[in-house]
Structures are given as C-alpha cells and as structure tokens.
C-alpha cells in the first residue's frame, strides 16, 4: 500500500473511533505503513469497512489491517489480485522485432526484466535497452494491438481488401459467406443489396 493510501486509511480509522490521527511523519504511522506495505491499495476501502465494524479501535492497528487483508483474501478466493508491472503492464514481456542483415524481420517475445521468472539462456532487457540494440518493442496497450503495430511500423503490409469499410455486421457476414462458400445461395441472393 502506498504511503498516502495507508495514511488516509489510518486517519479514517482514528476518526471512526473518535481519536485524533497522528501526524504523517510520526513513528506510529511509519511503523504501520511499513507493516502494511504488501497490502494492495484497491482493497483499502474493504479493510476500512471491516475494521469499522469493531467495537473499539484495535491496540495494534498494523496487525488488525493485515488480519483484515488476510480475511479479505479468504472471502474472495476467486478474486485474483496482481499488481501490474510498471515495465510491461502485466504482459510478462514484449513483442519484439529485429531487422536482420538480409532485410527480414525476426519477431520474438522478450521477457520482462522486472516480473518474469529468470531462466538461463534468456536476455532480460527493458524496451529502452532493446531499442539501444536496434530492436523495436511494441509498447504495452498499443491501440489496435500487435497487428496494428506491425502495420504502423511497416513490418507487414495490410491486405488490399482491408481498406473496405463495412457499414454493418450483415455486410461483413455476406462477404465472409462469399469467401468461404458457406450458404452460397443466401450470399449470392443478397450480394446486390449489401454493397
């Protein structure tokens, strides 16, 4: 949990039980914040609600918060919580493209140096380090995904017929029917109306 979120949680709990909150720089806040550093920020509201149900303020607030976090984990066993990696945004790596001497492009998956499990024989570099070596990495969350990234950077050329815009799903279905031969009679019958 971040220091700000932890301090806000501590202040709200002190206020709930009618006590004045300690200062942000006090030793009490430092100890509690250090103890609850592993608790994610997004469950702070649930922890606060759980602790507000108590009759009095716990004497060991850090221990109570950790206990509430463990209770939340047991009650929400199906909820998978993962901190997203700041380097790869939770993707465990990057799509990477390296132009070889013969002009071809070698595509590979580069594991994230921050969150991937280290194995022998793999290189764990950040996108900036890959770029310094002449390798192009797709940034996490690229709009349009991998295919759009390849089109935008000239790695692959978009098909000539992809420029056609489909006005509706029916037009797309008709085109696919014509290409695959599925339900030929229906596709031929409505081909004139769809264009």
pLDDT digits (tens, 9 = 90+) for 54-78: 888 888 988 999 999 888 888 876 6
DSSP 8-state code for residue 98: E
pLDDT at residue 100, as a whole number = 86
CB atoms within 10 A of CB 35: 17
Number of helices and strands in the chain (H, E): 8, 3
CB atoms within 10 A of CB 167: 9
Least reliable range by pLDDT among 78-82, 85-89, 100-104, 113-117: 78-82
Angle at the Cα of 77 from the Cα atoms of 75 and 81, rounded to 5 degrees: 110
The mean per-residue pLDDT over the stretch 97-121 comes to 84
Say which residue, 182 or 117, is predicted with more confidence: 117
Those residues with Cβ within 8 angstroms of residue 19's Cβ, 6 or more apart along the chain or in another chain? 57
Share of the chain above pLDDT 90, in %: 5
Least reliable range by pLDDT among 41-45, 82-86, 101-105, 159-163: 159-163
pLDDT at residue 163, as a whole number = 45
pLDDT at residue 125, as a whole number = 86
The mean per-residue pLDDT over the stretch 14-22 comes to 89
Asked if pLDDT for residue 157 goes beyond 50, the answer is yes
CA–CA gap between residue 185 and residue 177 (Å, rounded) = 10
Q: Which contiguous run of DSSP H or E holds residue 95?
A: strand 93-99
Give pTM, 2 decimals. 0.43
* CA-wise closest residue to 29 among 43, 40, 18, 13: 13
DSSP 108-142: EEEE-TTTSPP-TT-----HHHHHHTTEEEPPTT-
Say which residue, 120 or 22, is predicted with more confidence: 22
Band the pLDDT of 195: cuts 50, 70, 90: very low
CB 14 within 8 A of CB 20: yes
pLDDT at residue 142, as a whole number = 83
Q: Which contiguous run of DSSP H or E holds residue 107?
A: strand 105-111
- Domain limits, the chain: 3-75, 93-161, 164-194
pLDDT at residue 150, as a whole number = 85
Q: In a 10 Å sphere around its CB, with 0-12 CB exposed, 13-18 middle and 19+ buried, how is residue 6 labelled?
A: buried
CA–CA gap between residue 194 and residue 175 (Å, rounded) = 9
């Amino acid at each position: 949990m971040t220091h700000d979120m932890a301090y806000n949680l501590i202040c709200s709990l002190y206020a709930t039980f009618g006590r004045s909150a300690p200062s942000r720089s006090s030793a009490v806040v430092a100890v509690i914040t250090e103890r609850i550093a592993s608790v994610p920020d997004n469950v702070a509201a649930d922890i606060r609600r759980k602790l507000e149900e108590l009759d009095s303020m716990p004497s060991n607030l850090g221990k109570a918060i950790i206990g509430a976090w463990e209770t939340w984990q047991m009650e929400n066993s199906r909820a998978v919580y993962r901190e997203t990696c700041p380097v790869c945004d939770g993707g465990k790596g990057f799509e990477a493209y390296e132009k070889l001497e013969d002009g071809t492009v070698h595509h590979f998956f580069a594991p994230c140096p921050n969150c991937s499990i280290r194995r022998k024989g793999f290189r764990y570099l950040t996108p900036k380090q890959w770029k310094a070596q002449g390798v192009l990495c797709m940034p996490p969350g690229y709009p349009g995904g991998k295919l759009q990234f390849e089109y935008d950077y000239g790695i692959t050329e978009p098909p000539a017929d992809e420029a056609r815009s489909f006005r509706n799903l029916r037009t797309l279905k008709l085109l696919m029917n014509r290409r695959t031969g599925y339900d030929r009679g229906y596709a031929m019958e409505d081909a004139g109306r769809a264009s």
